[in-house]
């Protein structure tokens, strides 16, 4: 089925390198979210895109993190100068509708990022 697709599924990189994580949302979903799940933790909100509105970046942990969503579809999460504490599973989700609150989000399988 045409669910949320994330790539790569696994990424191992050295500390200090930049990484790019990609998310293809479900076609027609106007809302797109990035989350991070560190070991033993819940889902930590990172950033939210809704249509053509300015993204909500309030969850980004530092200025090394940025994200783009081109053409209202594909999104890329970029982490510059990676640190070991960036190691986590990065999850992307998309949903229908204008409001975030009452629309179930559909998640991709995540990218497991490991910083050596």
Partner 1 sequence: DQQVKQNSPSLSVQEGRISILNCDYTNSMFDYFLWYKKYPAEGPTFLISISSIKDKNEDGRFTVFLNKSAKHLSLHIVPSQPGDSAVYFCAASADNNDMRFGAGTRLTVKP
Q: Which of residues 22-51 bind partner 1 (CB under 8 A)?
A: 35, 40-43, 45, 48
- Determine if 1 is a binding residue for partner 1 (CB under 8 A): no
User: For residue 56, how many other CB atoms are within 10 A of its CB?
Assistant: 15
| C-alpha–C-alpha distance, residues 14 and 103, integer Å | 37
Residue of 49, 60, 79, 110 that binds partner 1 (CB under 8 A)? 110
DSSP line for 62-116: STTEEEEEGGGS-EEEEE-S--GGG-EEEEEEEE-SS-STTS--EE---EEEEE-
| C-alpha–C-alpha distance, residues 116 and 112, integer Å | 13
Q: Which of residues 47-106 bind partner 1 (CB under 8 A)?
A: 48, 56, 58-59, 91, 93, 99-102, 104-106
Minimum CB distance to partner 1 smaller for 87 or for 110? 110
Site for partner 1 (CB under 8 A): how many residues? 25
Minimum CB distance to partner 1 smaller for 80 or for 103? 103
Distance in Å, CB of 91 to partner 1, minimum: 6
């Amino acid at each position: 089925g045409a669910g949320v697709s994330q790539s790569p599924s696994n990424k191992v990189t050295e500390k200090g390198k930049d990484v790019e994580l990609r998310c293809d949302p479900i076609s027609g979903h106007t809302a797109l979210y990035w989350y991070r799940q560190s070991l033993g933790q819940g889902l930590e909100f990172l950033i939210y895109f809704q249509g053509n509105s300015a993204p909500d970046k309030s969850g980004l942990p530092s200025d090394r993190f940025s994200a783009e969503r081109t053409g209202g579809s594909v999104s890329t999460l970029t982490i510059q100068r990676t640190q070991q504490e960036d190691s986590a599973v990065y999850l992307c989700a998309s949903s229908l509708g204008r409001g975030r609150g009452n629309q179930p989000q559909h998640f991709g399988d995540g990218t497991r990022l490991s910083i050596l």
